[in-house]
Amino acid sequence: MVLNLRNQFVFAPIKTGYSDGRGNVTERHLAFYRMRSRHVGAVIPEPLYMDSRLRELPTQMGIDTDEKVSGLTSLVETIHRGGASAIAHLNHPGRMANPKIPGNVFVSSTDVPCETGGATPKQLTESEMNDVVSLFVTSARRAEIVGFDALELQLGHGYLLAQFLSPLVNRRNDHYGGDFSARASFPLKVVAEIRKAVDLPLIVRVSGSEMTDGGIQLDETITCSLSEAD
C-alpha cells in the first residue's frame, strides 16, 4: 500500500493535553486538527497510548479500547476533510511512563533507572515482551479500523523500543542484548508483526544518535541500517 500526500509537509505529533482524562477525542482536538490539516500533506496526532497504565500525560489521547474507535474515527474524518492524510503514532513509553499518574507501570529492557526522574523499571521477561508485541499489533489493527492512512512507530527519543536499542539501558545477557543487531531484534520483531497484521504504510522514527558517551552513535546507526536493508 502506497501513501500519496498532496505535499511533503507533515505535522509532527505533539502532546496537546486536550483529552478528558479518559483518553477520548474531544471537540477541542477536532478544532485543533481541523486547522492544522488545511495545508499540510499529513497530520500525525499526538502519541496514542495503547494501555491506560502507560500514559505520559493524564490528558493523553488513547487507542487502547474499542470504545475509542468512534472518537478517533471523527478525528481521522476531520483531518481528511482538511485534505491531509492521517497517521497514527503508536508508542510504548517503557520506563518513561509518567510517575505522577496513579496506576502507571514501568518496564524496560533492563532495570536501569530513568535519568529524567522516572521510576526504576522492571526488566521485561520474554513472555512480557510478547505481550508488548500483542499490544502494538492490537493497536495497529484498531488504527486501521478507524481509517488512519499510515502508522508511525516510535523507536527513538528514549522510549521503550529505543530502550532496547540503547547500550546504556539494554544490559541484557540474553539474545536481546549485546551488539546492535541483538539489541535491535526486539524492536524489529514489533515492526515485523505489525507489518503482518495490517495493510498500512509504516514509518519508523529512530534517533540516529543518543548524543551521550557510551550511547548509540550516528555512524553505528547508519552502518546497521544499511546492513538491515541488505
Going by C-alpha positions, the residue among 29, 27, 19 that lies closest to residue 49 is 19
Q: Are 45 and 61 within 8 A, CB to CB? A: yes
Cell 509518567 sits on residue: 98
Q: Beta strands of the chain (E only): which ranges?
A: 10-11, 42-43, 85-90, 107-108, 122-123, 150-154, 202-205
Secondary structure class of 150 (helix, strand, coil): strand
Contacts of 57 (CB under 8 A, 6+ apart): 15, 17, 19, 98
Cα–Cα distance for residue pair 39/6, rounded to 1 Å: 9
Cα–Cα distance for residue pair 23/128, rounded to 1 Å: 24
Choose the catalytic residue: 18, 49, 159, 176: 159
Residue 159 among the catalytic residues? yes
- Residue-wise burial string across 18-30, b where 16 or more C-beta atoms lie within 10 A, e elsewhere: bbeeebebbeebb
- Which residues are designated catalytic? 159
